[in-house]
Amino acid sequence: MTNHTAEPNPTMNFTGFPGAGLRFLRDLAANNNADWFKPRRDEYEATVRGPMIALVADLLTLAAARKLPLNGDPEKAIFRIHRDVRFSKDKRPYKTHCGASLTRTGTKLASGLFYIHIEPGACFVDAGFWHPEPAALDRLRQRILTWPERFIDVVKALDTNGIPLAEDEDATKRLPRGCEAGKGTDVEPFLKHRNLTARTPLSDADVRDAGLPMRLFDRYLAALPLLEFGWAAADG
């Protein structure tokens, strides 16, 4: 795994996710309709999207200072507030959280991502592989089978750093086809996962702190062993 040398921290511009932004998201949850949101679009931009752009920009600055694979455009990395309701019974038009995704390529949904989720009472940061394409998931599973000890070392490192692999509600009940060699081994439970992510919950007070970019960057560094393991599978 790569040894990343720390350098002095660059200047940060994020001053904390404002209480007004969290209140806006709470109010949106109670008034999830266009009549309420449209007159308040500028408030959303100023108190929710703007602070998230600053947070993402600081994370990218920290990564660039250490020549680490974390890339993206601060504005394009943020997911749109509008929900896709075309195939959903839930027709509420807006998300009641703000999310952003950074990857090694800069493409928002590339394999192996670092995701930030701001939602009153349910903030978190996630790192890893979420809903990979079937071929990519198969390559990841085969790498776990080929290097089981190395993968268990990754799992132990995540545990040590306080970001254990998340339980996967989408996990299969049986070993997937092609993974039979893992039966009865330490990696068997992980071969059943469809998602391999390490999550850190954040309190509302955490996200209001101006030190959040460095805190999230530390979580990214802690999750790098998992990301690098998966990227190696993707790269063949």
pLDDT digits (tens, 9 = 90+) for 135-180: 999 999 999 999 999 999 999 999 999 899 988 888 999 999 999 9
Residue 69 DSSP class: S
In three-state secondary structure terms, 204 is helix
With respect to residue 4, please indicate whether it lies within any of the assigned structural domains: no
- Give me the CATH number covering residue 134: 3.30.930
Q: Is 73 left (phi over 0), alpha (psi -120 to 50) or beta?
A: beta
Q: Is 86 left (phi over 0), alpha (psi -120 to 50) or beta?
A: alpha
Tokens of 32: 């999830």
Residue 2 has pLDDT above 90, yes or no: no
Residue 29 has pLDDT above 90, yes or no: yes
Provide the pLDDT for residue 111. Answer: 86
With respect to residue 213, please indicate whether it lies within any of the assigned structural domains: yes
With respect to residue 8, please indicate whether it lies within any of the assigned structural domains: no
User: CB burial class (10 A; 0-12, 13-18, 19+) of residue 150?
Assistant: middle
How many other C-beta atoms can be found within 10 angstroms of the C-beta atom of residue 59? Answer: 26
With respect to residue 11, please indicate whether it lies within any of the assigned structural domains: no
For the stretch 66-98, pLDDT in tens is 999 999 999 999 999 999 888 888 899 999 999
Rounded mean pLDDT of the chain?
92
Number of domains in the chain: 1
Can you tell me the distance from the alpha carbon of 201 to that of 207, in angstroms, rounded to the nearest whole number?
A: 11
Provide the pLDDT for residue 87. Answer: 84
Provide the pLDDT for residue 9. Answer: 61
With respect to residue 6, please indicate whether it lies within any of the assigned structural domains: no
Domain, as residue range, for 67: 19-235
Can you tell me the distance from the alpha carbon of 91 to that of 42, in angstroms, rounded to the nearest whole number?
A: 23
With respect to residue 2, please indicate whether it lies within any of the assigned structural domains: no
Residue 206 has pLDDT above 90, yes or no: yes
Residue 125 has pLDDT above 80, yes or no: yes
Among residues 175, 79, 172, the alpha carbon closest in space to that of 118 is found at: 79
With respect to residue 13, please indicate whether it lies within any of the assigned structural domains: no
Residue 155 Cα to chain centre, angstroms:
17
Provide the pLDDT for residue 8. Answer: 53
Provide the pLDDT for residue 235. Answer: 85
Can you tell me the distance from the alpha carbon of 81 to that of 37, in angstroms, rounded to the nearest whole number?
A: 11
Residue 47 has pLDDT above 90, yes or no: yes
Provide the pLDDT for residue 6. Answer: 47
Tokens of 167: 């339980």
With respect to residue 7, please indicate whether it lies within any of the assigned structural domains: no
Cα 17–21–68 angle (5° rounding)?
35
Residue 38 DSSP class: G
